[in-house]
Amino acid sequence: MTFPAYEKETQPFPSEFASAFREARDAATGVLTEEEFKAWADCGLRMAKRAGRSWEAAREYFKASPALLRTLPFSYFMEWGYWGNVLVEESPVIAETYFRVGPEVVGSLDPWEVAEWAKLGRGLYTGSRQSSALCIRFFEASGDLLKILTLSELQHLMLLIESVGESSAEEAVALLSLSREVLPSLKEDTRACLSLLSALVREDWRQARGCLGVVREALPRVERVERARFLALAERLAGKGDTDIPTFLQEGSRALGHIDGYLHIHVLNLAEALAGINGGVVLDFLRGVPQVLQRISVKQLETWHDEGVTILKENPEGGSAFFRGESARSVEMLERLSTGVELGRIKETMRLYCRALTAMDVGIALPEEREAQIKGWVAQEKAMTGEAMVYLPLVVERFNNKEDNFDWFKVVATHQVAHLEFQSFLFSFNTPAVLFPNLRPQLALGENGEARAAGPTDIHRFFALFQDGPLARDIFTAVEDYRLDHRVKVEYPGIRKAYARVQANALEERPLIEEMPAREAMVELLIRFGLQVLLRDLTVPEQYLEGVRTLGEIVKPLSLPQASVEDTAEATIRLYQVISQIPNEAVPQQEGEKSNLPEEELGGEDMERMLKRLLESMLLSQSGEEQPYRSPPRVEYRGEFSPELMQLLSRLKESRTERGAKGKPMSKEDMERLLANANNLDLQAEQGELDQEGIFVTEVMKELGLEGTPDGSRPFNFPYDPTYDKEVEGNPLEVKEPFSFLYDEWDYRMADYRPRWCLLREKDMGEGDASFYATTMDSYATLVAQIRRQFEMVVPQGLHKNKKMQDGDEFDLDSVIEAMVDIRSGTTPDDKVYWRRNKVQRDVAVVFLLDMSASTAEAIDESRRTADDWDAPEDPLEYMFWLRTRRGEGVRRSYKRIIDVEKESLVLLCHALETIGDTYGIYGFSGYGRENVDFYVIKDIKEAFSERVKRRIDKASPLQATRMGPAIRHAVSKLEGIEARTKFFFLISDGRPQDRGYSREGVEKEYAIHDTKMALIEARQKGITPFCLTVDKEGHDYLRAMCQDMGYEVLADIYALPRRLPTLYRNLTR
Amino acid sequence: MAEQVTYRSYQAEEYVIREEPFYLPVGDEIELFEAAYAQKLPVLLKGPTGCGKTRFIEYMAYRLGRPMDKVQGHQGNGENTGGGIPLMTIACHEDLTASDLVGRYLLEGGETRWVDGPLARAVKAGAICYLDEIVEARKDTTVLIHPLTDHRRILPIEKRGEILEAHEGFMLVVSYNPGYQSALKDLKHSTRQRFVAMEFTHPPRELEERILEHESGVPGDMARALAKLGEKVRNLKDHGLQEGVSTRLLIYTGRLIAAGIAPRRACQVGVSWALTDDPQIQRSINEVIYSIFE
């Protein structure tokens, strides 16, 4: 096909036009039909002929053609040409620019948008010189702007600029140039900035350019994810009109720049709240924040902010002075906040401190939670795990320095764990007291010689000695606390001073003893003994002096360090004998001041005479009616003390573990006895006041399925696991489809394998969204970097210098000398005289097996999450993570499940393993019944890491039950096929193995554990090191049985998993 | 001018403990060790670092060498009348080779000369050879001691084509700290099952108190407080601490205190900073310290 040459038509024009045409023609002949070619050439040539300088525009048309003809469909191309023609008519210069930028701009547009874009430019030209300049600038800027904006956003921008142009054409041109320069550098925040601009143009167009001028400098100071919000805040302020936005951007961002990035979200939250009230103070607030945050925590910042808001609402002037830090109230508040100590910041320290003191895991909670727990179901959950709790206040701001405030926490914690440390709960009925003669044995027999002391535990038996249970318990508690207070001060002299402060404070808060009836007053006296450093310093009304003297004499031995809880019991017996005889009647107020006990009167007198005298004096002074006995209020710092519950729980636990160990349940008679006794206790408690222990015990019984049969007539039912299945007998299975595998299962009762018992199906995990991987990497960015560093340090060990090689990099001096010696001494030298690097590579293969049972769907302990709300971690990294999860919750109202954390951990681990290049596989398992064990391949051990693996990780989700045995066996078979010097098998689970029919008549737990254990032993016999990691708090129980001498770890805190897993792996394989 | 000798040096075979080391038995370990020595059984000492394994060996070397306690069969060879049996301690590390233990030829001028390694010397001299931290040694080195640990009691010296029969009094003792959470560093069973194993733990509070009092020279109250601190800090093992504080560290702390350093400060230096780099745990330990010490 021949195309017309058009040589003649190009002749009138300068040679550069002709050459541009020729080049374009050569390119066009290849892609256009004859007809199209003609249309194309005509379009350009017609344009060239139109006016004097229009050939220049036409030249650009031809220059741009080769590129555009390739990218644009011809019809759209012609549309582009058509609009060029239109422009040429207006102004050849504009058209020239239009054509020149064509290839660049059209690349960022969809074909059908080209005309829109041209029209947008055309619309800017109104015939004036200024508009022509603007229009040219527009076309020039289009390429850059369209890289970041969509066409409609560009339209939006131009609309703004045009409206500025109505006021000032120069301003409009300047704004457009600036936009072109600034907007692309803002990346993802461009839209927010555009929106701010439109607000500004609406309110005060003069600020628009200033704003664009500073935004590029200002934004990088703000945490990346918060930049859009920062701009939105500026926009909001712009709407109010009382803030200069460029200044705000400049100074606000500078202030934020002084604060750690992870706090920005918090500060911006507060600033936004403030913007809703009074826009003018927002900048003041932001300016002040860096200084304020140097003194107080973010949490406290909120308090400070709230205070300011309150003032602001009443008095805008005062409010703005507050935020500028110019008001006395603001200064004073900062002072108070900055010396206060929040529990959240020291919780972890206190937890470890308590752990150190007691060797037990101690939970930390707020006093308010205690009330909630006693009533709600949560209580039993917590109580059933036997976890001791320490109750600490949310914040201590009593003193004007941090040390004293912190010491307060420490004293409270030390006292509360003293119950554990000095064995209040280990009371044994038959253990003799150290300091007192023992009355218990004879009391236990009673007058007629029949046993009076009965109860499920020793402490129950002890309280059974008394008619008035609540009174005895109050006396016991008060006296035991007295013992502990003294003991702690002896054992921990370092906190003695702080301790005295706490006690003095508690003493001040005691109710008036004058208003108490006599018996209660006596108990109150006992409580006060413990709060007073020296007995003689205790100030009481005159009529109680006798009481102080006598009761003080009885409890005095308990202040010695060798006093035991049995001594407390003996003292309780003696005190009870006195106090229970005192009628609980109001005591007439006597004239005269409160006084102290004269020193010389302390001690030395005969006890019996003293008791008699006390009784007489109290009986004498009685007046009025006998009132029911009510316990005096508890001393706050002393926390919860319920020895009966603790003993009962540990008793139940013992019987449980016994059952577990011997495979024999506690005998029915035993349980019934326990039940009957507990009911006694219940009734007793109800006779007095229904106290906490009473409620607890009922709940405990309920938990065991033992509730409410006072006569014990109902047949005793032990709650069996619902998965219990009678159809345990069955036949070996057969493989019917590919990718199915049969495994034996160990039956510990038979002490043999059940052949071909489980059918396992291997499946590829479905593919989810790879963004989960990216998001996780993002949100753990700091941790990822940390892990990477740690793992990179592992690698050089593989670069170990290997001596005694037959060939290598260099001579090994030692070997060479040895060889020389051999030669001289006439023996044959060893020829291995070289050393070489990197011969022994790290050669580790590992398989991770992920438990995908339904239980992993559980939200991570909701109650804990709320408790954590005030528990902001101190570590910035953790804080960030905490904040993110918290914010995520707020936005999406979603919660994290165990599996989510497991998945996140896998992501981090994959990343780490890729760093060191170990061979690894990741699998998940779940299933239902022995014929349906599903085994999911997330990353096969021989498979390379890829996008698909990332997507599969996302897909891991909770399914059914946990039959661990066959899954372990299959995972191990995967490892067997790999050549590696060291092989590991990692099991990550959230609880004990269980499945339908993973059982033998009611011993399901044991059966499953034994089978799992056997599978792990098999692994070890194959030279594979197994390791189990669980996030189940009760994991110690069965993991100990399951793993024995194999490695295992129980993570108390599931959130520790992402951090712990890589570290663990690194340590194990080191 | 005569050079002043500021040190004493011994031939390895001649190094005997001359003064009775201070050792408080926790259980029946002394009887067990004596029986093992009499029966020529090799012994494995397990236990966390700084709980007294080395001191125990020193003590036993002294005790077994005392004339009155002389175990039948062991003939004092003249050199060790002053104290105990010679004690040869070899710290194991991963570059320890067979010839480091057994011996090697050395070049001397144009000649070669054979030099016995410490193990060979101990075998010849009838010393107690104590291989500290045996897991650190390479596995091929570890197998070298196998023939010494069974009924043969021989040490083959390959280079010279000799076989050394152990002296009557020779005894092999290895120590091992199972606290390492590394699966790659574990004793092979073939090695492990050649030793009778004695397990050591940190001494109970009362004993530790006496040890501290004796070793660091602090008064009884202070020793008690330090022992209390030791017990409390050990409660944090596996809760952030890989290992509890060793008796050795407590002794050092006590010595600092005896030298006039304030107790709180000494504990910080000797316990919390020495144990961990984790600021959180350091802080918790410090709080325990501040509670116990004024």
The confidence band for A699, taking pLDDT boundaries of 50, 70 and 90, is: very low
CA–CA separation, A358 and A562 (whole Å): 18
Residue type, B168: E
CA dihedral B1, B7, B8, B12 (to 10 degrees): -120
- pLDDT, position A585: 75
Phi/psi for A742 (5° steps) reads -110, 140
Q: How near does any CA of chain B get to the CA of A723, in Å?
A: 35
CA–CA separation, A183 and A197 (whole Å): 11
| Residues from chain A contacting residue B161 (CB–CB below 8 Å) | none
Look at B110 and A824 and tell me if their CB atoms are within 8 Å: yes
The minimal CB distance from A355 to the residues B106, B235, B290 is found for B235
What's the token pair of residue A147? 């890289």
| Residues from chain B contacting residue A491 (CB–CB below 8 Å) | 228, 292
Do residues A830 and A822 lie in contact, with contact meaning Cβ atoms separated by under 8 Å?
yes
Which range has the top average pLDDT, A467-471, A1035-1039, B227-231?
A: B227-231
Mean pLDDT value across chain A? 74
Which is nearest to A833 in space by CA: A861, A810, A863, A864? Answer: A810
Q: How near does any CA of chain A get to the CA of B54, in Å?
A: 26
What radius of gyration, in Å, describes the C-alpha atoms of chain A? 41
Q: Helix H segments across A724-868?
A: 771-779, 781-794, 813-824, 862-868
- pLDDT, position B211: 94
Q: How near does any CA of chain B get to the CA of A357, in Å?
A: 5
- pLDDT, position A665: 42
| Residues from chain A contacting residue B293 (CB–CB below 8 Å) | 493-494
CA atoms lying within 13 Å on the CB side of residue A711: 2
Question: Mean pLDDT across the stretch A256-284?
Answer: 82
A535-560: pLDDT as tens digits: 666 677 777 777 777 888 888 888 88
The residue of A412, A492, A1016, A1039 whose CB has the most chain B CBs within 10 angstroms, and thus the best one to mutate to test that interface, is A492
CA–CA separation, B253 and B264 (whole Å): 10
Q: Which residue has the tokens 């000095």?
A: A422
| Residues from chain A contacting residue B104 (CB–CB below 8 Å) | 818, 821
Helix (H) or strand (E) holding A728: none
- pLDDT, position B251: 95
A984-1020: pLDDT as tens digits: 888 888 777 766 666 555 556 677 777 888 888 888 8
| Residues from chain A contacting residue B284 (CB–CB below 8 Å) | 348-350, 352-353, 355-356
What's the token pair of residue B8? 């004493």
Which is nearest to B52 in space by CA: B195, B191, B214? Answer: B214
CA atoms lying within 13 Å on the CB side of residue A274: 30
Q: Is the pLDDT of residue A447 over 70?
A: no
Q: How near does any CA of chain B get to the CA of A580, in Å?
A: 39
Which is nearest to A942 in space by CA: A837, A847, A810? Answer: A847
Which residues on neighbouring strands pair with residue A936, listed in sequence order? A763, A924
CA–CA separation, B127 and B172 (whole Å): 9
With a CB cutoff of 8 Å and minimum separation 6, the contacts of A368 are none
Question: Mean pLDDT across the stretch A598-602?
Answer: 49
- pLDDT, position A590: 58
Question: Mean pLDDT across the stretch A102-113?
Answer: 80
| Residues from chain B contacting residue A402 (CB–CB below 8 Å) | none
What's the token pair of residue B268? 């910080």
**DSSP-based three-state secondary structure for A610:** helix
| Residues from chain B contacting residue A348 (CB–CB below 8 Å) | 280, 284
CB atoms under 10 Å from CB of B42, counted, come to 20
B180-191: pLDDT as tens digits: 545 556 677 888
CA–CA separation, A471 and B19 (whole Å): 63
**DSSP-based three-state secondary structure for A894:** coil
CA–CA separation, A924 and A956 (whole Å): 8
What's the token pair of residue A333? 């508040």
- pLDDT, position A27: 77
The minimal CB distance from A355 to the residues B111, B239, B280 is found for B239
Which is nearest to A1016 in space by CA: A611, A819, A671, A746? Answer: A746
| Residues from chain A contacting residue B182 (CB–CB below 8 Å) | 1067-1070
The minimal CB distance from B240 to the residues A352, A825, A1067 is found for A352
- pLDDT, position A529: 81
The confidence band for A368, taking pLDDT boundaries of 50, 70 and 90, is: low
CA–CA separation, A178 and A172 (whole Å): 10
A351-361: pLDDT as tens digits: 888 888 888 77
- pLDDT, position A385: 40
Q: How near does any CA of chain A get to the CA of B134, in Å?
A: 17
Which is nearest to A952 in space by CA: A966, A938, A972, A967? Answer: A938
Q: Is the pLDDT of residue A439 over 60?
A: yes
CB atoms under 10 Å from CB of A377, counted, come to 12
Interface of B with A (CB under 8 A): 99, 104-107, 110-112, 159, 181-185, 228, 232-233, 235-236, 239-240, 264, 280-281, 283-285, 287-294
Helix and strand counts by DSSP (H, E) for chain A? 46, 15
| Residues from chain A contacting residue B228 (CB–CB below 8 Å) | 491
The minimal CB distance from A493 to the residues B111, B185, B294 is found for B294
CA–CA separation, A354 and A362 (whole Å): 6
Burial class, A900, CB count within 10 angstroms (exposed 0-12 / middle 13-18 / buried 19+): buried
| Residues from chain A contacting residue B290 (CB–CB below 8 Å) | 410, 494-495
- pLDDT, position A520: 84
Q: Is the ipTM of this complex over 0.85?
A: no
CA–CA separation, B286 and A469 (whole Å): 42
CA atoms lying within 13 Å on the CB side of residue B175: 25
The residue of A821, A1051, A1053 whose CB has the most chain B CBs within 10 angstroms, and thus the best one to mutate to test that interface, is A821
Which is nearest to A421 in space by CA: A360, A348, A479, A363? Answer: A360
A42-97: pLDDT as tens digits: 888 888 777 777 788 888 888 888 787 777 788 888 888 888 888 888 788 888 88
**DSSP-based three-state secondary structure for A151:** helix
Look at B106 and A355 and tell me if their CB atoms are within 8 Å: no
Question: Mean pLDDT across the stretch A793-822?
Answer: 74
A651-690: pLDDT as tens digits: 766 665 554 444 444 444 554 455 444 444 433 333 333 3
CA–CA separation, A583 and A579 (whole Å): 8
- pLDDT, position A670: 52
Look at A358 and B235 and tell me if their CB atoms are within 8 Å: yes
Look at A824 and B294 and tell me if their CB atoms are within 8 Å: no
A136-146: pLDDT as tens digits: 888 888 888 88
Look at A821 and B105 and tell me if their CB atoms are within 8 Å: yes
| Mean pLDDT lowest among A276-285, A771-780, A850-859, B77-86 | B77-86
- pLDDT, position A101: 83
Q: Is the pLDDT of residue A164 over 50?
A: yes
With a CB cutoff of 8 Å and minimum separation 6, the contacts of A242 are A279, A280
- pLDDT, position A682: 39
| Residues from chain A contacting residue B105 (CB–CB below 8 Å) | 818, 821-822, 825
Residue type, A719: P
Q: How near does any CA of chain A get to the CA of B220, in Å?
A: 14
**DSSP-based three-state secondary structure for A973:** helix
| Residues from chain A contacting residue B99 (CB–CB below 8 Å) | 818
Look at A824 and B112 and tell me if their CB atoms are within 8 Å: yes
The residue of B291, B293, B294 whose CB has the most chain A CBs within 10 angstroms, and thus the best one to mutate to test that interface, is B291
| Residues from chain A contacting residue B106 (CB–CB below 8 Å) | 821
Burial class, A552, CB count within 10 angstroms (exposed 0-12 / middle 13-18 / buried 19+): buried
Angle at alpha carbon of residue A495, lines to A491 and A500, rounded to 5°: 105
Q: How near does any CA of chain B get to the CA of A1054, in Å?
A: 15
Look at B183 and A1025 and tell me if their CB atoms are within 8 Å: yes
| Residues from chain B contacting residue A495 (CB–CB below 8 Å) | 290-291
Parallel, antiparallel, or unpaired: how do β-strands A810-811 and A834-837 relate?
A: antiparallel
- pLDDT, position A1022: 80
The minimal CB distance from A359 to the residues B111, B235, B291 is found for B235
| Residues from chain A contacting residue B281 (CB–CB below 8 Å) | 352
Look at B280 and A352 and tell me if their CB atoms are within 8 Å: yes
- pLDDT, position A664: 42
The confidence band for A950, taking pLDDT boundaries of 50, 70 and 90, is: confident
Q: In what order do the strands lie in the sheet with A834-837?
A: A801-805, A834-837, A810-811
Look at A348 and B280 and tell me if their CB atoms are within 8 Å: yes
Which is nearest to B73 in space by CA: B62, B85, B56, B83? Answer: B85
| Residues from chain B contacting residue A1047 (CB–CB below 8 Å) | 181, 183
Question: Mean pLDDT across the stretch A328-351?
Answer: 78
Classify A266 in phi/psi space as left (phi over 0), alpha (psi -120 to 50) or beta: alpha
Over chain B (294 residues), the average pLDDT of each successive run of 10 is 71 79 91 93 90 90 67 41 76 83 82 87 90 82 88 88 90 81 65 90 92 93 93 84 88 95 94 87 91 90
- pLDDT, position A800: 62
Do residues A675 and A712 lie in contact, with contact meaning Cβ atoms separated by under 8 Å?
yes
Look at B159 and A827 and tell me if their CB atoms are within 8 Å: yes
Do residues A578 and A616 lie in contact, with contact meaning Cβ atoms separated by under 8 Å?
no
Do residues A395 and A342 lie in contact, with contact meaning Cβ atoms separated by under 8 Å?
yes
| Nearest-Cα residue of chain B relative to residue A1027 | B183
Instruction: Return the HEC string of B156-202.
Output: EEHHHCEEEECCCCCEEEEEECCCCCCCCCCCCHHHHCCCEEEECCC
B211-243: pLDDT as tens digits: 999 999 999 999 999 999 999 999 888 777 878
Q: How near does any CA of chain B get to the CA of A1051, in Å?
A: 10
With a CB cutoff of 8 Å and minimum separation 6, the contacts of A134 are A124, A125, A161, A165, A169, A172, A173, A176
Angle at alpha carbon of residue A515, lines to A514 and A520, rounded to 5°: 90
Size of the A and B interface in Cβ pairs below 8 Å: 91
With a CB cutoff of 8 Å and minimum separation 6, the contacts of A448 are none
The minimal CB distance from A352 to the residues B105, B159, B284 is found for B284
The minimal CB distance from B183 to the residues A357, A358, A1068 is found for A1068
The minimal CB distance from B235 to the residues A356, A410, A1025 is found for A356
What's the token pair of residue B93? 């590390």
Which is nearest to A969 in space by CA: A693, A670, A695, A753? Answer: A753
- pLDDT, position A606: 62
